[in-house]
Amino acid sequence: MRGVYIEEVLRDLEAQGLLSDIGELSGGFEVTREAYRRRNPFVFRLAGGEFRLYSNIYADRRLLYRFLGAGDDAAAYTRLLEATRNPGRVVETGFSEFFRETGRGLSDLPFLRYYREDGGRYLTSSIVLACAGDDVCNASFHRMMLVGDREAAIRIVPRHLYRIVEWYRRRGRDAPAAVVLGVHPLIELAAATSPGYGVYELGVAAGLLGEGLEVARTPLYGIPVPSSASVVVEGRITGRLVEEGPFVDILGIPDRVRRQPVFVAERIYYRRGSSPHYHAIVPGLDEHLLLMGFPREALVYEACSRLAGVRAVRLTRGSGGWLHIVVSVSDAGAGAAANIGMAALSAHPSAKLVVVVDDDIDIDDPWSIEWALATRVRWGRDVYVLRGVRGSTLDPSGDDGLLDKAIIDATVPRDRPGALFRRARVPVGGDPG
C-alpha cells in the first residue's frame, strides 16, 4: 500500500478527457479568470515556477461523486458519513523514504493573490495537521497569508485546531504543526469534514479511499502526514499575532482584517521522484463552495432523514454554498417541514435559511425552487423566523455572527387537493395531442 498520488488522479482525468493542460499563467488574477471561465479541471504552471498547479477539481458535483465512487446523492452522503463514523486503517511508514528536505522557504511556494481586494498572497488549499499529545490529532483547511520567507499568518476559527493550539498555549509552548499540499481529492474532502474531537481526519480519508492510508511522522515533531502528499511544511503555530486579510471568501465578499497567529516554517520537504504539485482553489468559485459545503450537506441529510424521506440536500450556490439550505423530501406529513428545518439548522448552524420542498422540485434548478415558493407558500403560515440566534460570521448582515434565521415550508399544503399544485408536464414524443 503506497497511498494515492495526485499525479495519478490528474493523469486519469486527462485520459478521460476531463482535464486540460493550459500551459503557463502569469499569476493569481489570471488563475481566477481561467477558473471562472472554464468551470472544468485544468493544470498549468506559473511563469518561472517549479510547481505544477491544478484547479477546478471539484468544479462539478459529478466529479466529486466520481472520486467517491457514488452514483447519486444518497450514496455519496452515506459514503462520507460511514467513513466519518468508521475511520479506515492508517499504516505508518518511514518519512525519509518518501520525502527530501529542500532548503526552500515559504516564498518559494505558490502563494497567490486571487482578487484585487485580497490583502496579500495566499495558500488556499493548505491542510494543517497538529496533535495534542499522543492521543488527539486534527487535519483541517486553513488559509495562510505570506508574511515572510519563514512566516505566514494562519486563519484559525474556534474549532479543533484552535483547541489544540490552546492546549499548547496553556503549557507555555508553541503548537507544532505540519502543512501538506498536493494530496488526493478524498484526503482533501476528509480534511473538510468536522468529525468529533479526537477523530483524526486522515482515518476518515483512509475510509474513503477504501484501502487504508499510509502516513509518515515528520522528523522534528512526529506529526503523522500522508506519505502521498506532494509537499510537507513542518513548523510551529506561535502566539504572536499579525494582521491577516482582507481575503475574498466563500461569499465573494472580502472578509475583514483580523489579528491571527503566525506560523513559522522550519523545514520544507518535497516528495521524492516527483515535481511539486499544488491545488489552486480559487475562493468563492464552485470548487470552494462544494468542497466546503458538501460535508455539511451530508450532515443535514443524516439529521433530516430521521424525520422524513430525504431525496437530496443542497447548500445553494447563490448563498456561497454555505448560508441557504434546500431539502427535498418525499413523505413529509403535515407540519413536518418546520421540524425538518430545525434539524437542518442544528446540523449546519452557519445556515440562515432552510427551504423544504417536495421531491417533484428540481433542487439544482433555482427557477424550480422559486416556482415552489411562488405557488406553495402562504407567507403568514409557512414561514418560521428565529430571531437573534448564532450563525455564520461570514454573513455581513449579522452582528459578528448574531442574526435572524428562517424556515420556509414550500411543500404542497396537506389540507388542499394536490392537483392544484402540480405543474403540467411538457408533452413528449408519442403523445397523440
DSSP output for 212-273: -EEEEE-TTT--EEETT-SEEEEEEEEEEEEEE--EE-TTSSEEPPEEEEEEEEEEEEEETT
CA distance 197 to 376: 42
Q: Which of 168, 193, 169 is nearest to 68 (CA)?
A: 193
For residue 107, give the DSSP letter.
Answer: G
Residue with cell 498572497: 121
Q: Which of 216, 226, 224, 157 is nearest to 186 (CA)?
A: 226
Sequence letter at residue 34: E
* Cα dist from 419 to 70, 410, 414, 424, 427, whole Å: 35, 15, 11, 10, 18
Cell of 326: 434546500
382 is catalytic: no
Contact 323, 339 (CB under 8 A): no
Where is 203: in which H helix or E strand? Answer: helix 201-209
Sequence letter at residue 375: T
Backbone angles phi, psi at 111, to 5 degrees: -65, 130
Sequence letter at residue 345: L
Q: Which of 80, 383, 108 is nearest to 210 (CA)?
A: 80
Cell of 39: 468551470
- Cβ neighbors of 323 (< 8 A, separation 6 or more) are 251, 315, 350, 351, 352, 353, 391, 392, 394, 395
- Catalytic choice (73, 118, 174, 249): 249
Cell of 354: 432552510
CA distance 215 to 217: 7
Active site residues: 249
